[in-house]
Structures are given as structure tokens and as C-alpha cells.
Amino acid sequence: MLRETVREGTVGDVLSAGLDDAEEECLVVNPSQKTIAALVEVLQAGTAPRSVRLFAAEAALKDLFEDFLVASAVADLLADGTLAVRTLQSVPRNALLVSPTSVVSLVDGGDRVAGLTTTDEEFVASAYDYYDQRWQEAEEFSLRTPPRSRVMETLEAEIGPEAASDFGAVLDSLDSARGNGDGLDEVTISLLVAARNGELLYDISKWGEDVGLASKATFSRTKSRLEDNGLIETEKVPIDVGRPRLRLMTGDPRLEDADIDEVAGVARELLA
């Protein structure tokens, strides 16, 4: 009979406890989107990096990673080796934390989450070997979002420290950045920040394409939408050779006058 202990709390609490109990590595199997987001926060806050393998359904990963805040954080964790992500083809009933020393089953009770933990050596060894083998055979998940750290570094270097500071402040004011009604996406935020700082469309879109944020065409389409809705305006700036370039400016005084952490809320109101 398996010996179990029960830990309760938020999903972050249970994940933190499970990772602390694990040795050098842990497989997180079939987590919900809420659990993945909590895992990312736990790993970002960790003082000592550990190796975590995220093993999740492809549909859940794709949907969650539409949120730039989560995806760019995951990209940072991938880059520093704290996290690896592969796609799980058939899923168990519950989310699991599987390590060489324990198996934790996460049970969502609404406001609270319970972690049912067993350290039975035979069961743990069998479960770990099973999911480790499946991991070896699984495909790596392709994340196209660049790390937030690289986005910030290149934005500061290529556009300027004021724009980088504003971009970070707007992101920090958001719960999500996916641009589907739940928040503004990263391209929209980039253009709004560029407009508040009087930057050229060419410069911000070239930066965005080079860093892997979006194509120049996406920046151009988003600029047109914001312009049509009165959030930004443009003026032509002559250059020595070729067509004039467009300088971005705010098109509504509320965007110009708002504190930087209020820009996202004002923009959502104007786009509604």
C-alpha cells in the first residue's frame, strides 16, 4: 500500500513544496495552464536553479504561450537551462510531479490545491522510469517567443533606455499580454511606447523583427489599427535617400498624459 502525505494551499505552494522535496530534477506531467503559469512564477522566484522538465499537451502549451508575459518568461528559463519543454501525447488523469524520490498528484479543489505525495520506492521508481522513457521519445516544443531579458536588452541598445523602461513598466502593469481581449499584445505595447517616445516606425519594427517579436508586416498592420482608432498619429520624416520615414506620436492626450503604468488601461478603453 502506498504511503501518502497531503499538502494543501495554492498551486504555487504545492509546486514549491514538491520541487523542494525533489532531488536534482523533476518531471511536471500534464499540468493545467494555471499550473504551468504558477510553475513559471515559482522557477523565476527560485534562489537555486533546478532542472525541471515540463511535459504537457501541445494544445495547452500553444494557447498559454500566446501570452507574451508567460512565453517570454519561459524562454528565459529555457535559455538558462532551468526548464525544458516537450509535448505529451496521451495524458494521465491528474497533473503529476515525478522525481526519483517522490510522486505528487495535484488535485484542484477550486480555491485550494492538494498535493498527494508518495515516496514508496517501488512505485516511485516505476513511475519515474515510465515518464522518463516517454520524455526521451517525445518531441521538443518549439517556442518562438524570445526571452524577455533579450527583448529588454536589445530594446535599450537599439531604441533607447527610456523606451525600454516604459516597455517594461507597461508589461509589469498587465496580467496578460495576448491581445485577444484579455490584454494588449507585445507589438501593440511596443508601438504605444515608441509613440510616447517619438520613435520612428522603421526603427521599432526593425528591432521587433530582428529580436523575433513579430514581422515588420505585423508591426505595420498593428500601427494602422492603432492609427485608425486614434491612439497614435504619424508624421513624415525626410531622409537623404528613399521614401520618408514615419515618426510615431500619441494620437490622444489621455495616452500622452497617463502615467506609464496606466497606459495599458487607457489604451484598452480607447480600443473598446
Domain regions of the chain by residue span: 4-137, 148-271
DSSP 246: E
In this prediction, residue 13 carries a pLDDT of: 82
Cell triple for 244: 520618408
How far is it, in rounded angstroms, from Cα 204 to Cα 189?
A: 11
Give me the residue label for grid cell 511596443. 190
Determine whether domain 148-271 maps to CATH 1.10.10: yes
- Reference 67, options 186, 244, 161, 168; nearest CA is 186
Give me the pLDDT at residue 244, please.
84
Q: What is the pLDDT of residue 2?
A: 46
Per-residue confidence (pLDDT) for residue 3, from 0 to 100: 47
Strands 83-87 and 25-29: unpaired
**How large is the C-alpha radius of gyration of the chain?**
22
**pLDDT, tens digit only, all 272 positions of the chain:** 344 555 667 888 888 888 877 766 899 999 989 889 999 998 988 755 568 999 999 999 999 999 999 999 999 999 989 999 999 988 777 889 999 988 988 887 767 788 888 889 999 999 999 999 999 999 999 999 999 999 999 999 999 999 999 999 999 999 889 865 456 899 999 999 999 999 999 999 999 999 999 999 999 999 999 999 999 999 999 887 778 899 999 999 999 999 999 999 999 999 88
**Residue 69: per-residue pLDDT:** 95
**Residue 108: its pLDDT value, please?**
77
Q: Residue 153's pLDDT is what?
A: 98
Fold for 4-137, please state it: Endonuclease; Chain A (3.30.870)
The neighbour count for residue 85, using CB atoms within 10 Å, is 21
Looking at residue 5, its pLDDT comes to 59
- pLDDT score recorded for residue 47: 56
